[in-house]
A and B are shown apart, each in its own frame.
Chain A
Amino acid sequence: MSAPGFTNLGSSVSYSQNSTPNGGAAPPYQNGPAQTYPSMYPPTSYYGAPPQQQSYPTIPAHSTSVPSKAPITNSAHSANYYQNNHQPQQQQQHHHPAQHHVAPSPYSAPPRSAPPSQPYATLPSSAPPPSNTQYNQQPFQQQHPPYATPGSYYGQQSYHAPPAQHPPQQQQQQQQQSSLVPAPASGPGAPLYPIVSYPSAPGSSQYGTLSSSQSTSTSGVMPLHMGAPLHQYSTSQPASTTPVQPGYGVAPPSQMAPTVNGQGSTAQTTVHQHYDQSHQAPQSYDSYGRVTHSAGGADADRPPSGTPSTSVHSSPGHHQGMQYGYVANSGASSASAATSGPAAAPSSSSSDDDDDEEEEDEEAGGDTSSSTTGSASPVPNSYDSLEGGSYPDSMPPSNDMTNQAQPYGSYGYPNMQPAYRQGPASHADASPTHDLYGQASYQQYSQPFPNLSQLSAALGGLSGVPELEVEALRPVNLLQERNLLPPRPLEAPEPNLTPDLKKVNCSPQTFRCTLTSIPQTQALLNKARLPLGLLLHPFRDLQQLPVITSNTIVRCRSCRTYINPFVTFLDQRRWKCNLCYRVNDVPDEFMYNPVTRSYGEPHKRPEVQNSTVEFIASSDYMLRPPQPAVYLFVLDVSHNAVEAGYLKYFCESLLENLDKLPGDTRTRVGFLTFDSTIHFYNLQEGLSQPQMLVVSDIDDVFIPSHDSLMVNLKESKELVKDLLTSLPAMFSQSRETHSALGPALQAAFKLMSPTGGRVTVFQTQLPTLGAGKLQSREDPNQRSSTKGVQHLGPATDFYKKLALDCSGQQIGVDLFLLSSQYADLASLACISKYSAGSVFYYPSFHYIHNPAQLEKFQKDLERYLTRKIGFEAVMRIRCTKGLSIHTFHGNFFVRSTDLLSLANVNPDSAFAVQMSIEDSLADSSLACFQAALLYTSNKGKRRIRVHTLCLPVVNQLSDVYAGADVQAITCLLANMAIDRSISSNLSDARDALVNAVVDLVTAYKSNVSNLQQSGLVVPASMRLFPLYILALLKQKALRTGTSTRLDERVFAMCEFKTQPLQQLMRMVHPDLYRMDNMSDQGALHLNDTVVPQPHLLHLSAERLSRDGAFLMDCGNVFYLWIGKCCNEMFIRDVLGCPNYASVPPNMGSMQSPRATNKNPHVKPQSHIPELETPLSERVRAFLDWLQDNRAFSSTIHVVKDDASAKATFFQHLVEDRSESALSYHEFLQHVQLQMSK
């Protein structure tokens, strides 16, 4: 994954240097740089982990501890990272020895006490019209054509422009800040500034630049940054000499922007381009914007002194490092800081040896930093976070972290940057290195993308934010306007906050609220007729994540809120909680900023600079010592299972991924098979071959042996491999048709109780024996009934009770149901639902007859086995006083009104929360939500991931509508409808959905819209609402009248509850593109590939034409529909068939999943043949780009116009009338009718 990004970046940008050092592996990193820092960050900073996922946790002891663990790939990455990081550091050190105050690590230390300006402190009030400022900046960028061109590298040119403008802006900002900020803070900061300039500055500068571009306010920073960047760039990019460019990721962005957006402001576009290169420009933009803003604040602080520039100059790498560091700051803070900057750019030139040296340096720096911290403050905050994860396995991340840390400290950019990093990271994903990590890493990377896309949207908005708000309120008459879809997938609306807050706010991918403007009272909320709720994806793979190790985790004394960017510092020693408004003391330890190695600027700490951070928790947060990762596989081997043939593929997949299972040297595995009896496997080390122990007493299951069934994976690996190799053959002759799933689960529970862990259950039929046996409840004749559907709830509470027992013992159960018959998923799913597991369902699975399902199964399994995992988790959601949590949706057990118990937490499941307003929020202009996820990483570290979201409170109905997030609302309503259909019945749920539309239109008409228009008038922000609701009503989960198997319906409901928003929206309302005439207009330039950006089409058959080819993106599957008269060139160039008639009927799914896997660096993402034609390359580039942000890779099906598969394609055209459902127009008329009643 990373590789592509890198390469691209490298090519386009000057980053090439980075790439060179790394070599193959390096590319990702390089890419990272290219992408701008983001890529770099991810690895270094705490997140670094994300790519390597688990690396951080294990890593605790920096390099020493975990090296072995990391897969080869990891090491490669790490190496790259290191190189980058190290090099930068070295370079920086060399260049700017003088500058570095801190003896050990030049950069890290940047002693500067912090710039006074505290973003938070200023908060909203200060917020100058952010949007405007941003816009202004954009013009600038636009003016600079060069930026636009990716090749030139943004950088320089764009930067130049900014500097001039920026200075004034900076001043303004500074002034604003100063005024806003409490006196105390500013005071100390000022003196420090000069110091600040250091090395870190470069990195920050980059950020700053970015931000500056987006927001004028930050501009002040720009100049300094520019200087820094220039250095970097100069080194990296011969072409662009200007210092400014390098520093700023911004410059690059400008380039990107043009290409990508086309739409937004040029400046933004540039930024975007970087992202775009990586993947989704838009989201990245947003993140940038925010980041930059925040950074800007920090930058502003710096600008005053010329020194910063010098530092920057010294090492280009520094710049990058700074940037990184910024990211890193959290973890790396102290140690990393020194190393940070340089790594990226310089590294390219430096050889491996250099890298090594750098590594050493980093380590040294780290040590020093830690020591410094210790000395500085009695209570050392060791931001060792980096170490924890990064060093051992994923060295690179750690380095990055360190690097990042420095910049961070110096600038305080960290918050925003992480997001950026993510963007880059995603780019990086493309790079080959990812392959090493395996899909998991890939996916992780990919996730960032969505952000990018969102960002892009936001970016578009950036320039015209004010306009956006106006636009959001524009009344839209649905009966008259037919083209409602935006050209690109919809982005999350931006909350109307000050730029400072926007910069640090949580990514909409992680944390999204249905109303980005919170109504002041419940009465106002009721008036708006919109649901208030949150959509959370708390454990998603992040590209960058500040990891903080600190002796004391600063929390509010009364509500236990973690300190976050939205608290107010009353003075140096006190802060006011933003949730309960209690005034707390700032602990001594917190006064010391390990990033900058300065004392007395608590507002510069990474916790206060990032809305998403991760803490390494102390033993206070442990109930028992962290348990190892324990995996138990429970396999159905009855006759039915043998027939379906899944066992062979499971064993193959597990064999392949055995080394990639998240965990450390303590990892334990076990196997258990069952038909009418239960078979245990003794894998004790020392045995010559696995021993099977059969327990036939299923009424009273006992464990035949207590210590040899769950074995250490490392010690018994050979036996495990033996078992996996022989397992498929062992049962090939099985004639046993019964399935004793219940007793098998009980056995699994007993086996796992002492440690907790993950149980993976494969089941192929209805359980027929022992406890928990089920009867078939489905009446096939009722499948298409319009009257309501029976049996959506469980038939027995056996599975629920067992799940609760499991949850209590910290056991998560994941269910893979591969059944061709009814298997009562409604009952079986309970085992996963309440133990925080996940459910996978493959209807009609058969290894020969259903290759599409087999392929999906294999892909899912690979992701499943290698994805990150957290054990013994709990998640608490806190919100501002006055708000309260109403209901949770997702897979978990609710332990308390705001506490979820998650035995396992995985990066692919999301949660929804309904909120209510209990007390008026009138005494506050901001509402905050904080989700804290406490978990044990697979390396046995206790960690807390904290996300904080801040939203404005409004008292006008029109503002509420302007801030409505139609996608989030749709998803929340879907969750509520699922609940309703289970607790009441399906038709109730459907009526409730229709009523939601009717209520909205009525409420808007009577309260806001002054126009006495006839017809359906809704605010523009909600213009897609009726369409989405109609699409919901046509989903498998909620449709009536169309034949739907009960299990498939129940599975669709499970997915609604657990899928993250982006994925869910694609399932509900797929994206349709025309593929045969894609132009380069508005295309993204990622690295060296061009990703065309075709426009979204309405889901209606009238948008299709026989002479075209259309791609429908349904989230987990792509359909490529080929019209009868489709251009033969397209068929030939893309599908490799001479003409339409020769296209095989089920192409795509027929091909081997590994057919395209010749190149180890390129993951087989699509099954379109790899042809060397420009058209094919473009189509594949687009498909890969779409896939890049998904956890589970999608399969692609080629659908011919005359094929029987056509029906599956056309059922997704939700705007058309189907046999039993209304067309969009009819639906609107129906709503109108309801209104007049």
Chain B
Amino acid sequence: MAFTFAAFCYMLALLLTAALIFFAIWHIIAFDELKTDYKNPIDQCNTLNPTVEKVKKIKRVKIALKLVLPEYLIHFFFCVMFFCAAEWLTLCLNLPLLAYHVWRYMSRPVMSCPGLYDPTTIMNADILAYCQKEGWCKLAFYLLSFFYYLYGYGFIFTSCSSALRINDSHRALVFYLRMSNM
């Protein structure tokens, strides 16, 4: 069996990237909700009274904002995995995002707890727009890298096990495509 460590890395990255995509989507939705909150005519003036729905929504937003650190850690984790597997090209492709994450976290507002977003400035239009843009960019990046990992996995799998027939690798591809659709 030619299931190498590199192939394992790719498979793992594939799964984790699926999670990251999920995070990114949640992130985008959260900021969109923040931004469009005022368009909800129901909570007119008496925003003082948080309705149940509103509380739910706030929770959702909060959860989304708390996913930042897990996201960074996950990404850092499979970068380390690629490093160990000596997948230099893949690592290089991920380095810019890794550097961005480090920079982003270093320049976060003064906070005593982990987190990135300051509730007092998050509504600033510039910051809001920046965060939304960041969400979309990340989503695009994760989607691309998802397919890249898929391809990488398949490539390594086939190249490492020349004994395997092409059909098998196709089967693997199909399998993972199905997975990704879930």
Residues of A within 8 A of B50 (CB): 623
Give the contacting residue for B120; candidates A624, A885, A894; CB below 8 A.
Answer: A894
Contact across chains for A886 and B120 when beta carbons are under 8 A apart? no
Query: Looking at chain B, what size class is its interface with the partner chain?
Result: 20 to 34
Contact across chains for B47 and A874 when beta carbons are under 8 A apart? yes
Contact across chains for A796 and B126 when beta carbons are under 8 A apart? no
Comparing A2-10, A24-32, A554-562, A734-742, the segment that makes contact with chain B is A554-562
Contact across chains for B45 and A621 when beta carbons are under 8 A apart? yes
Contact across chains for A560 and B47 when beta carbons are under 8 A apart? no
Query: In this assembly, does A872 line the interface, its C-beta being within 8 Å of a C-beta of chain B?
Result: yes
Q: Which single residue of chain B is at the shortest CB-CB distance from A899? A: B47
Residues of B within 8 A of A558 (CB): 41
A522, chain B: closest CB distance, angstroms:
13
Comparing A70-78, A85-93, A488-496, A798-806, the segment that makes contact with chain B is A798-806
A79, chain B: closest CB distance, angstroms:
36
Alpha-carbon separation in the docked complex, A624 to B49 (Å) = 8
Query: In this assembly, does A773 line the interface, its C-beta being within 8 Å of a C-beta of chain B?
Result: no
Residues of A within 8 A of B166 (CB): none
Query: In this assembly, does A822 line the interface, its C-beta being within 8 Å of a C-beta of chain B?
Result: no
Query: In this assembly, does A644 line the interface, its C-beta being within 8 Å of a C-beta of chain B?
Result: no
Alpha-carbon separation in the docked complex, A1005 to B58 (Å) = 49
Give the contacting residue for B41; candidates A560, A793, A801; CB below 8 A.
Answer: A560
Q: Which single residue of chain B is at the shortest CB-CB distance from A562? A: B45
Query: In this assembly, does A794 line the interface, its C-beta being within 8 Å of a C-beta of chain B?
Result: yes
Query: In this assembly, does A897 line the interface, its C-beta being within 8 Å of a C-beta of chain B?
Result: yes
Q: Which single residue of chain A is at the shortest CB-CB distance from B125? A: A886
Given known contacts A623-B48, A876-B45, A897-B37, A887 and B125 CB-to-CB distance under 8 angstroms = yes
Q: Which single residue of chain B is at the shortest CB-CB distance from A621? A: B46
Contact across chains for A896 and B124 when beta carbons are under 8 A apart? no
Contact across chains for A622 and B46 when beta carbons are under 8 A apart? yes
Give the contacting residue for A797; candidates B46, B112, B126; CB below 8 A.
Answer: B112
Query: In this assembly, does A685 line the interface, its C-beta being within 8 Å of a C-beta of chain B?
Result: no
Contact across chains for A793 and B47 when beta carbons are under 8 A apart? no
Contact across chains for B48 and A874 when beta carbons are under 8 A apart? yes
Query: In this assembly, does B103 line the interface, its C-beta being within 8 Å of a C-beta of chain A?
Result: no
Query: In this assembly, does A884 line the interface, its C-beta being within 8 Å of a C-beta of chain B?
Result: yes
- Render B93-136 as a binary contact track against A, CB cut-off 8 A, 1 for contact: 00000000000000001111000000110111110100000000
A778, chain B: closest CB distance, angstroms:
17
Contact across chains for B110 and A934 when beta carbons are under 8 A apart? no
Contact across chains for A793 and B46 when beta carbons are under 8 A apart? no
Contact across chains for A895 and B45 when beta carbons are under 8 A apart? no
Most A C-beta atoms less than 10 A away, residue of B37, B41, B48, B49: B48
Query: In this assembly, does B44 line the interface, its C-beta being within 8 Å of a C-beta of chain A?
Result: yes
Contacting residues of chain B (116-158) with chain A, CB-CB under 8 angstroms: 119-120, 122-126, 128
- Render B44-73 as a binary contact track against A, CB cut-off 8 A, 1 for contact: 111111100000000000000000000000
Instruction: Give how many A-B residue pairs fall within 8 Å (CB-CB).
Output: 85
Contacting residues of chain B (24-55) with chain A, CB-CB under 8 angstroms: 34-38, 41, 44-50
B161, chain A: closest CB distance, angstroms:
54
Contact across chains for A804 and B120 when beta carbons are under 8 A apart? yes
Given known contacts A797-B112, A804-B119, A944 and B125 CB-to-CB distance under 8 angstroms = no
Contacting residues of chain A (758-796) with chain B, CB-CB under 8 angstroms: 793-796
Question: How many of chain A's residues have a CB under 8 angstroms from any CB in B?
Answer: 43
Residues of A within 8 A of B123 (CB): 888, 894-897
Contact across chains for A834 and B38 when beta carbons are under 8 A apart? no
Contact across chains for B125 and A796 when beta carbons are under 8 A apart? no
Query: In this assembly, does A674 line the interface, its C-beta being within 8 Å of a C-beta of chain B?
Result: no
Contact across chains for A559 and B124 when beta carbons are under 8 A apart? no
Contacting residues of chain A (1134-1185) with chain B, CB-CB under 8 angstroms: none
Contact across chains for B47 and A796 when beta carbons are under 8 A apart? no
Contact across chains for A795 and B38 when beta carbons are under 8 A apart? no
Query: In this assembly, does A1219 line the interface, its C-beta being within 8 Å of a C-beta of chain B?
Result: no
Alpha-carbon separation in the docked complex, A350 to B110 (Å) = 67
Give the contacting residue for B110; candidates A617, A620, A795, A899; CB below 8 A.
Answer: A795
Residues of A within 8 A of B119 (CB): 804, 893
- Render A341-368 as a binary contact track against B, CB cut-off 8 A, 1 for contact: 0000000000000000000000000000
Contact across chains for A800 and B46 when beta carbons are under 8 A apart? no
Most B C-beta atoms less than 10 A away, residue of A557, A798, A884, A897: A897
Alpha-carbon separation in the docked complex, A677 to B119 (Å) = 32
- Render B71-97 as a binary contact track against A, CB cut-off 8 A, 1 for contact: 000000000000000000000000000
Contact across chains for B45 and A934 when beta carbons are under 8 A apart? yes
Alpha-carbon separation in the docked complex, A801 to B34 (Å) = 20
Residues of B within 8 A of A617 (CB): 45
Query: In this assembly, does A932 line the interface, its C-beta being within 8 Å of a C-beta of chain B?
Result: yes
B36, chain A: closest CB distance, angstroms:
8
Query: In this assembly, does A898 line the interface, its C-beta being within 8 Å of a C-beta of chain B?
Result: yes
Given known contacts A559-B41, A887-B126, A898-B38, A798 and B47 CB-to-CB distance under 8 angstroms = no
A425, chain B: closest CB distance, angstroms:
28
Contact across chains for A896 and B120 when beta carbons are under 8 A apart? no
Give the contacting residue for A834; candidates B48, B49, B120; CB below 8 A.
Answer: B120
A898, chain B: closest CB distance, angstroms:
5
Contact across chains for B46 and A934 when beta carbons are under 8 A apart? yes
Alpha-carbon separation in the docked complex, A559 to B41 (Å) = 6
Alpha-carbon separation in the docked complex, A916 to B120 (Å) = 20
Alpha-carbon separation in the docked complex, A895 to B124 (Å) = 11
Contact across chains for B38 and A897 when beta carbons are under 8 A apart? yes
Q: Which single residue of chain A is at the shortest CB-CB distance from B46? A: A621
Alpha-carbon separation in the docked complex, A112 to B45 (Å) = 34
Residues of A within 8 A of B45 (CB): 560, 617, 621, 874, 876, 932, 934, 944
Contact across chains for B46 and A620 when beta carbons are under 8 A apart? yes
Contact across chains for A893 and B124 when beta carbons are under 8 A apart? no
B116, chain A: closest CB distance, angstroms:
13
Residues of A within 8 A of B124 (CB): 886-888, 894
Contact across chains for B44 and A560 when beta carbons are under 8 A apart? yes
Contact across chains for B47 and A797 when beta carbons are under 8 A apart? no
Give the contacting residue for A886; candidates B35, B41, B46, B126; CB below 8 A.
Answer: B126
B65, chain A: closest CB distance, angstroms:
14
Residues of A within 8 A of B125 (CB): 884-887, 897, 914, 916
B43, chain A: closest CB distance, angstroms:
9
Residues of B within 8 A of A796 (CB): 110, 112
Contact across chains for A896 and B111 when beta carbons are under 8 A apart? no
Alpha-carbon separation in the docked complex, A934 to B110 (Å) = 32
Alpha-carbon separation in the docked complex, A620 to B51 (Å) = 13
Contact across chains for A797 and B110 when beta carbons are under 8 A apart? yes
Residues of B within 8 A of A793 (CB): 110
Alpha-carbon separation in the docked complex, A897 to B129 (Å) = 12
Contact across chains for B38 and A899 when beta carbons are under 8 A apart? yes
Residues of A within 8 A of B34 (CB): 896-897
Contact across chains for A872 and B48 when beta carbons are under 8 A apart? yes
Contact across chains for A623 and B38 when beta carbons are under 8 A apart? no
Q: Which single residue of chain A is at the shortest CB-CB distance from B35? A: A897
Alpha-carbon separation in the docked complex, A795 to B36 (Å) = 33
Give the contacting residue for B47; candidates A620, A804, A896; CB below 8 A.
Answer: A896
Alpha-carbon separation in the docked complex, A801 to B126 (Å) = 22
Alpha-carbon separation in the docked complex, A887 to B110 (Å) = 20
Alpha-carbon separation in the docked complex, A932 to B47 (Å) = 13
Chain B contacts to A: CB under 8 angstroms: 34-38, 41, 44-50, 109-112, 119-120, 122-126, 128
Chain A contacts to B: CB under 8 angstroms: 555, 557-560, 617, 620-624, 793-798, 800-801, 804, 833-834, 872, 874, 876, 884-888, 893-899, 901, 914, 916, 932, 934, 944
Query: 29 A-B pairs, CB-CB below 8 angstroms?
Result: A560-B45, A617-B45, A620-B46, A623-B46, A623-B49, A623-B50, A795-B110, A796-B112, A797-B110, A797-B111, A798-B112, A804-B120, A833-B120, A876-B38, A876-B45, A887-B124, A894-B122, A894-B124, A895-B123, A896-B34, A896-B47, A897-B35, A897-B36, A899-B37, A899-B38, A914-B125, A916-B125, A932-B45, A934-B48
For the complex of A and B, 6 pairs with smallest distance between CB atoms = A623-B49, A894-B123, A623-B48, A886-B125, A896-B37, A560-B44
15 more CB-based (< 8 A) A-B contacts, given A887-B125, A899-B47, A934-B46 = A621-B46, A622-B48, A794-B110, A796-B110, A797-B111, A885-B125, A886-B126, A887-B124, A888-B123, A893-B120, A894-B123, A895-B47, A899-B37, A932-B45, A934-B45
